[in-house]
Structure 1
Amino acid sequence: MKTLNIKISTFTVVCILFLTNLSFGQQGTVTINQDKDIDKLLAIKKEMNESEDTSDRYRIQIYSGNRSEAEKAQSTFKSLNIDLPSKLVYETPNYKIWVGNFRDRLEADRALKKVKTKFPTAFRFKPKKEKE
């Protein structure tokens, strides 16, 4: 009886080791074949996006009021380490802090949700186009 148990145990251990080796034995490499012109196209697209007219984009206003408070609001915003540019703008009679430069409303709304944690009166808007 003991020899039967030893044989079964040995067989079980061998099977487990064999099956474990099979399950971890899958290795391979991935090769990506792409046209060299794709990198050129991506660079051109990036350049076009950077030079695009930004007047049709969305922004977030976090403050409107006097200059000293506007500067405080801007420094508070910068200390939050949210990766968005901020800009001090003067529109008679108030100084305003505008944040971001978003291509679409959804992108602006996502950022607005983060900004509202510290600036609850912040809102999304689309700046008026300047007359040339």
Structure 2
Amino acid sequence: MRNLKNRLFLITLTVIFLSISDLSAQSDKTKIDQLISQKKSYNKENKTSIVYKIQLYNGNEDKAYKVKYNFETTFPQYKTVIKYDQPDWKTQVVYFKTRLEADRALLEIKENFSGAIVLKDKI
């Protein structure tokens, strides 16, 4: 009889413990889902992405356009832009998602444009 009471007591404790841990797990899942939702809404409102670009030239306007033309005829697979940051004009190859991707392109580009550098930018 005493052995039966001990077993019932242990079974009752086990059931209570499992119920509590299940409620705790559900509560944690709810909190995690809520945090994920908050992060998604934050990302939608604050669209700043890190990208990499390769700067080919920094100087006067005429030379910037000449560098752009020469680059586009040599490397038609890349997109180039001219950017004006007072007082300089910049010829840049845009946009690479990772630094590794930009560095790989830079190795190829440096053969013809030795002054090219990789820059990090936010868009």
TM-score bracket, normalised by the shorter chain, equals: 0.5 to 0.7
TM-score calculated relative to the size of structure 2: 0.58
Q: 1:60, 1:98 within 8 Å by CA — same for their partners in 2?
A: yes
2:59 and 2:49 map into 1 onto residues whose CA distance is 23
Paired with 1:100 and 1:63, the residues of 2 have a C-alpha distance of 13
Please tell me whether residue 68 in structure 1 is matched to residue 69 in structure 2. no
> Aligned ranges for residues 89-128 of structure 1 at < 5 Å?
89-127=83-121
Unaligned runs of 5+ residues in structure 2 are 1-46
Instruction: Give the unaligned 5+ runs of structure 1.
Output: 1-52
Paired with 1:73 and 1:84, the residues of 2 have a C-alpha distance of: 14
Identity value in percent? 38
- Greater helix content: 2
Q: CA 1:119 to 1:68, structure 2 compared with 1: closer, same or farther past 3 Å?
A: same
Give the length in aligned residue pairs: 77
Secondary structure, in 3 states, of the residue corresponding to 2:84?
Answer: strand
Which residue identity does 2:85 align to in structure 1?
Answer: E
CA RMSD across the alignment: 1.6
Moved >3 Å (runs of 4+): none
Aligned residue for 1:84?
78
- Shift, 1:54, TM fit: 7.0
TM-score in terms of structure 1 length: 0.54
Aligned-pair distance for 1:81? 3.0
Q: Retained in 2: the 8 A contact 1:54–1:101? A: no
- Normalized per residue, the structure richer in strand is 2
